[in-house]
Amino acid sequence: MAADRGSKVADVLIVGAGASGLVAAKHLTENGFNVVCLEQGQRVDSSEFWGDKPEFELMTQKRWHPNPNVRDLESDYPIDTSESDVPILMYSAVGGSTILYGAHWQRLMPSDFRARTLDGVAEDWPFAYEDLEPFYDEMDVEVGVSGLGGDPAYPPGKAPPLPPLPIGRIGMKAAEGMNKLGWHWWPGPNSINSLPYRGRNPCGLLATCRNGCTEGAKASFDLTHLPAALQHGLRLVTGARVREIAVNEQGLASGAIYVDRNGRERRQLARVVIVCCNGVGTPRLLLASKSAKFPEGLANSSGLVGKNLMLHPYVTVVGHFDEPLESWLGPNGQSIQSMQFYETDARRGFARGAKWHVLPSGGPLGAPPTPGLAFDEQWGLAFHRNREKTFGRSFEWGIMVDDLPDEANRVVLHPTLTDSDGVPAPKIIYNYSENTRRLAAFHLERAKEAMYASGAVALTVRPLMVDRSQHNTGASLMATGHLMGTCRMGGDPKTSVVNQWGQAHDVPNLFVYDGSVFVTSSGFNPAGTICAVALRSVKHLIAERRNQKVAA
Amino acid sequence: MNRASDLEIRAAFLAIADVLIPEADGAPSASGAEAGATFERILTLRPDLQEAFRRGVQAVAHKEPAAAARALNVEDPEALAAIGLVAAAAYYMNPRVRELIGYPGQEKRAFDPTATPEYVANGMLQAVVDRGPIYRATPK
């Protein structure tokens, strides 16, 4: 093994420079901690993105595709999804999946934290909405959220710091329909600044958010949090592929063993270790960190590391209109949202609900051709007819299903598949539940009503789809990249992996801050909650620094 | 690859591309949108398409294009999809086509976020507020 880099023992080692890792890095370094962050990917410059070039749509289908099995970059690890109903989406780089996320900056609703108490399903979170609210408020300011206060889907609270982005003609059209039906809608909050903010340009409405923001307006965390962390002394090591969290004789985490880009194995020592590798990468790493003291993987006495994987099943209704809507314009991002059918109504035959959001329909190229589809459905005159029907005059109601936890849905280590450094790859075992199927079917019917109320002349409905192919690029790519629940938090070490502060029950100086800790998925895009929970956890760690047990 | 085979590939590609994207209702065909000048650059940007593209083009070369395209869609659908994607990408990157369909590309659009949104000014959002809260509070 190569000599330790700098041979220093870090106060805190963070594995993963995505959203939660960089929230932790910023706050720890600003409070005087000596922090090292190991990231398997590299830094991304916005000049690498294609959003402002004619080749944009072509390049989103490969180099900037959200499915790592499609991108197939060296920094990506392969994921076996042959037993998963949906593909897994993520991005490996400094900034993590916020490089490609849609930046819907959502809060969970109060009932999300009390699903067991209110609806008799899943488990309650170890804290309530009101406990997290101040951290939501603080994160809104740190990332620069654009939106409008007063949404009646939430208790009264602070408004976002920036005015809302335009909802566009598509949002107005959708809102008209919702008002005809008397249904809830609200301008969607986005972590995309509508005004110049903390050195970032304002949004240019290019709608390329989910393939890299060329304007630097979207709050990817390499822009929002990394600079301050570096300024305060963060040592960021890119291309560092961690294969194991090391433990000492006392059963404490002592650092990490990683492979650098020269293929050399290195060890980074630390007093405290925080794992922030997302809901697939974190259980993968913990399960791979087996030792005599932890033969089933690190922090896994409950047997729950990797289990209760939640992925946000996603269905859509696309409405086609007989008038131009400029539906290639951003943000993308979201225009408006609705929580009309979010809360449980037992008469519907399922628990929980879904958030809806209006998205633009993009440019004319769209998804790649579907191999084997009947010739006359996509080629010849159909090529022109399909474009005339949809391009510029359609939008999507996207429906994000609250995915209930189920131990059978899980991340396991693949017995043979590895990344390019020999670290075992994850295998995903995931099936839609009956609750999900009923929920999705109900919501699709309501979304059809909403579209017709808005004046749609035709619809394209995409129900729950199962696609277990490994390289899903196109029409059936109904996944969100929201990876949650695989190291869930709670008060009981038998039924949870970490406590309410992200601290492993089994290893007191090991923490998890990413979406793995979610108890329920909610029906909301998780980035805002991942960050608020990470902020709450790291502030507690900082406050309790003198009482924190550490590796010698 | 020598120059002659490059020309053959180009000719075979354009023949099939014009079947996939024919001239219609004032819209040009693929070759009319200069796909022949663009496809090599597309294949350079997307090397993952090259194998299926070349396999498909070689399979249809010197055959009657319309019948060959339909046959390829059955016999090697991935090859036809690769040819189709290259043709469609070239088509929609063409400035004349973009102008024709009213697509300026993903260009920046200025807006004034400090102006009162239309949905506030006309009372649309107030109607939502007037319908009252829709959340369940944290149980005591």
The rounded distance, in Å, linking the Cα atoms of B108 and B106 is: 7
Does the residue B84 lie in any domain?
A: yes
Task: Report, as an integer, the average pLDDT of B21-33.
Answer: 96
Instruction: With H, G, I as helix, E, B as strand and everything else as coil, classify residue A256.
Output: strand
Tell me the chain A residues in contact with residue B21 when contact means C-beta distances shorter than 8 Å: 379, 383-384
Query: Are the Cβ atoms of B117 and A164 closer than 8 angstroms?
Result: yes
Q: Which residue of B has its CA nearest to A129?
A: B138
Q: What is the pLDDT of residue A1?
A: 42
Helix ranges restricted to H, A240-374? 278-288
Query: What is the percentage of chain B residues whose pLDDT exceeds 90?
Result: 92
Chain A residues within an 8 Å CB radius of B46? 58-59, 61-62
Q: What is the pLDDT of residue A3?
A: 39
Of A369, A378, A392, the CB nearest to B102: A392
Our CA-based measurement puts residue B81 at a distance from the nearest CA of chain A, in whole angstroms, of: 5
The answer to whether the Cβ–Cβ distance between A207 and B106 falls below 8 Å is yes
Which of B18, B25, B29, B119 best tests the A interface by mutation, with the highest count of A CBs <10 A? B119
ipTM for the complex shown:
0.94
The string of pLDDT tens digits covering residues B50-77 is 999 999 999 999 999 999 999 999 999 9
Q: How many CB atoms lie within 10 A of CB A71?
A: 17
How many domains are there within chain B? 1
Q: Indicate yes or no: CB of A204 within 8 angstroms of CB of B131.
A: no
* Encoded tokens for B102: 């009213």
Supply the angle between the helices A19-30 and A527-543 in degrees, to the nearest 10.
30
Task: List the structure tokens of A162.
Answer: 């920036």
Interchain proximity A62–B48, CB inside 8 Å: yes
Nearest by CB to A391, which of B45, B101, B124?
A: B101
Q: What is the dihedral of CA A351, A357, A363, A368, to 10 degrees?
A: -10
| Cβ pair A368:B93 closer than 8 A | no
What is the residue range of B28's domain? 3-105
**Where in chain A are the domains?**
5-543
Instruction: Please report residues of B whose CB lies closer than 8 A to that of A165.
Output: 111, 113
pLDDT at A477: 64
Q: Identify residue A545 by its one-letter amino acid code.
A: R
Answer whether residue B125 is part of any domain. no
User: Whole-angstrom Cα distance, residue A304 to residue B87?
Assistant: 49
Per the CB < 8 A criterion, the answer to whether A299 and A371 are in contact is: no
Q: Please report, as a single letter, which amino acid is at residue A454.
A: S
Chain A residues with CB-CB distance to B22 below 8 A = 380-381, 383
Instruction: Name the stretches of chain A with pLDDT < 50.
Output: 1-3, 5-6, 475
> pLDDT tens, A74-86?
899 999 999 999 9
State both tokens at A457: 């002349």
Cα three-residue angle A20-A26-A32, rounded to 5 degrees: 135
Query: Among A90, A46, A85, which residue's Cα sits nearest to residue A67?
Result: A90
Identify whether B139 is part of a domain: no
Smallest CA-to-CA distance from A484 within A415, A403, A422 is with A403
Q: What is the pLDDT of residue A474?
A: 56
Residue B136 lies in a domain: no
Question: What is the homologous superfamily of the domain A5-543 according to CATH?
Answer: FAD/NAD(P)-binding domain (3.50.50.60)
Contact A379 B20 (CB under 8 A): yes
* The model's pTM: 0.96
Class of residue A199 by CB neighbours under 10 A (exposed 0-12, middle 13-18, buried 19+): exposed
CA distances in angstroms from A344 to A416, B19, B52, listed in the order given? 43, 52, 49
**Interstrand relation of A241-247 and A510-512 (parallel, antiparallel or unpaired):** unpaired
Query: Closest Cα partner for A540 from A501, A500, A487, A491?
Result: A501
CB contact under 8 A, B138 and A114: yes
Distance CA A481, CA A344 (A): 24
Question: Distance between CA atoms of B18 and A264, rounded to whole angstroms?
Answer: 53
What residues contact residue A341 under an 8 Å CB cut-off, 6+ apart?
Answer: A353, A354, A356, A442, A443, A446
A interface test, pick of B74, B92, B128 with most A CB neighbours within 10 Å: B128
Identify the closest residue of chain A to B111 by CA–CA distance.
A166
**Nearest beta carbon to residue B45 from set A59, A148, A378:** A59
- Cβ pair A52:B107 closer than 8 A: yes
Kind and range of the H or E run holding A82: strand A80-84
Residue A282 distance to chain B (closest CA, Å): 30
